[in-house]
Amino acid sequence: MIVAMRSDATQADIERVVETIAEYGLRAMTLPGGERVAIGITSSISHDVRDTLTEVLNSLAGVGHVTQVSRAYKLASREFNPVDSVVEIKGVKIGAPTFTVAAGPCAIENRDQLMQTAESVEKSGAKLLRGGAFKPRTSPYAFQGLGVEGLKLLKEAGEATGMVTVTEIMDQHDAELIAEYADILQIGARNMQNYSLLSAVGRMDVPVLLKRGPGATIDEWLLAAEYILCQGNSKVILCERGVHPLDRAYTRYTLDILAIPVVKSISHLPVLVDPSHAAGNRAYVPSLCCAAAAAGADGLLVEVHPEPSKALCDGPQALTLDTFATVMQQVKSLCGNKVF
């Protein structure tokens, strides 16, 4: 059971609810879910008590609504927030009815590469600029990113184009540093269950883009989001990027397109799709962009590079600037009823 407090609830209101729950011999947990506090009852409640308690709690000052949440995730659930969440950063909205596209190179390589990409994708309609400065690479011998130098270039490109920036964080101790330079912190697939990192960004007031691990079930993904939400940071954006494939003869992963309508029905959080990592081959990326838009995703995260053949990281899956422009036209035509 979750008691969602009103946004104007006072600390005294909150304490009164916690005490009331305690009087019934139940354990309450205060969940600072962004703009408004929620109080979860984590003990199991008998059917007899449930109805009485619901009535009592509903009558208390500051209480918004009381809901039963059967899932393991609470704050991420549609029951907790029946309305689609919208994360807003510098005027850019992520969440229905807006369709938001993030584009940019896998790794930031130099000023020219980044600036050329940013200017082009911005013209094509992307509102977010993505680019990796700290790169998680399967091999320790692969290019690991430009680090702080990359962050500076990202900030510069964001300011020059008026775009919101997103970059990956791999270590919670870089959180403050990265947040100085970038607008959205991305948690990559490999760190989806790095609970120290999730909790750390949960304690910050910065939007977080949470990618799904390739082996994570939908519940594991939403519980990872819950780790962030239950620390008080409600600005969570989900991103599907492909699950384990049957084989890798043609693609890197299997894009779980079904996850889009499923997550949209059980959670209020916005969901983007990353077609680039799923496909691993730019030939298939345009079809996936269209499929994601048609399936109801709230946006895309696409790898774009001015010269994919010279990319230091994931070149084969990056779209050229021109192809990206074309894809954006196609996607717009599929999103007639969305704000672009």
Residue 64 binds to a copy of itself (criterion: CB under 8 A): no
Choose, by CB under 8 A, the member of 25, 47, 48, 336 that binds a copy of itself. 336
How far from chain centre, in Å, is Cα 287? Answer: 22
Residue 220 binds to a copy of itself (criterion: CB under 8 A): yes
Contact 228, 204 (CB under 8 A): no
Choose, by CB under 8 A, the member of 248, 307, 310, 326 that binds a copy of itself. 248
**CB proximity list for 235: less than 8 A, separation 6 or greater:** 34, 87, 205, 206, 207, 208
**Phi, then psi, of 311 in degrees rounded to 5:** -65, 145
Residue 239 binds to a copy of itself (criterion: CB under 8 A): no
**CB proximity list for 59: less than 8 A, separation 6 or greater:** none
The label of the residue with tokens 């208390």 reads: 60
Contact 79, 2 (CB under 8 A): yes
Strand, coil or helix: what is 71?
A: coil
**Phi, then psi, of 28 in degrees rounded to 5:** -110, 145
Residue 304 binds to a copy of itself (criterion: CB under 8 A): no
Q: Which stretch binds a copy of itself (CB under 8 A): 1-9, 44-52, 109-117, 244-252?
A: 244-252
Interface pattern 171-190 for a copy of itself (x via CB under 8 A): xxx----------------x
Residue 106 binds to a copy of itself (criterion: CB under 8 A): no
Residue 308 binds to a copy of itself (criterion: CB under 8 A): no
By CB under 8 A, what part of segment 145-174 binds a copy of itself? 170-173
How far from chain centre, in Å, is Cα 254? Answer: 19
Choose, by CB under 8 A, the member of 250, 310, 326, 329 that binds a copy of itself. 250
Residue 249 binds to a copy of itself (criterion: CB under 8 A): yes
Interface pattern 12-41 for a copy of itself (x via CB under 8 A): -----------------x----------x-
Nearer to a copy of itself, 163 or 301 (CB): 301
Residue 327 binds to a copy of itself (criterion: CB under 8 A): no
Rounded Cα gap, residues 301 and 80, in angstroms? 27
Residue 283 binds to a copy of itself (criterion: CB under 8 A): yes
CB of 46 to a copy of itself, least distance (A): 19
Residue 89 binds to a copy of itself (criterion: CB under 8 A): no
The label of the residue with tokens 């962030």 reads: 228
Residue 139 binds to a copy of itself (criterion: CB under 8 A): yes
Q: What letter does residue 36 receive in the DSSP assignment? A: S
Residue 287 is encoded by which pair of tokens? 């079809």
Rounded Cα gap, residues 2 and 9, in angstroms? 15
Choose, by CB under 8 A, the member of 12, 22, 61, 72 that binds a copy of itself. 72
Cα end-to-end distance, the chain, whole Å: 37
Number of residues in contact with a copy of itself under rule CB under 8 A: 71
Choose, by CB under 8 A, the member of 7, 42, 52, 58 that binds a copy of itself. 42
Q: Which stretch binds a copy of itself (CB under 8 A): 13-21, 123-131, 242-250, 311-319?
A: 242-250
